[in-house]
Amino acid sequence: MPRRCRKQAFRSVIELRQRTRALTEELKSKIRASELETLEHSVMAVVEHNRRSTSKQPVEFIKRSTASASLRIAM
């Protein structure tokens, strides 16, 4: 990647972080603490689920049944 593109990408990431931080602070000022806590727990649960899902190879989600030769999804 050319140096100019890297600088532009870096600036874009910085701007995104700043806007995200500003929006987060605005949201925190408008939402009740209990609602915020519930939302944080929901986000953490989704992130954990996604982390576990993406840590496996696609073949690991499919396993053969011991009772038959059919394939079953392992979830």
Distances (CA, A) of 1 to 4, 12, 15, 22, 72: 8, 15, 20, 30, 43
Residue 28's contacts (CB-CB under 8 Å, 6 or more residues apart) are 36
The predicted structure's pLDDT at residue 68? 53
Question: 12: number of CA atoms within 13 Å, CB side?
Answer: 6
How many domains, the chain? 1
Domain carrying residue 69: 3-73
- pLDDT tens-place string over residues 43-67: 999 988 888 777 777 677 666 555 5
Greater model confidence, 27 or 60: 27
pLDDT interval class at 75 (50, 70, 90): very low
Greater model confidence, 31 or 60: 31
Q: Which residue has the tokens 């992130």?
A: 47
pTM above the 0.75 mark?
no
Beta bridge partners of 63: 72
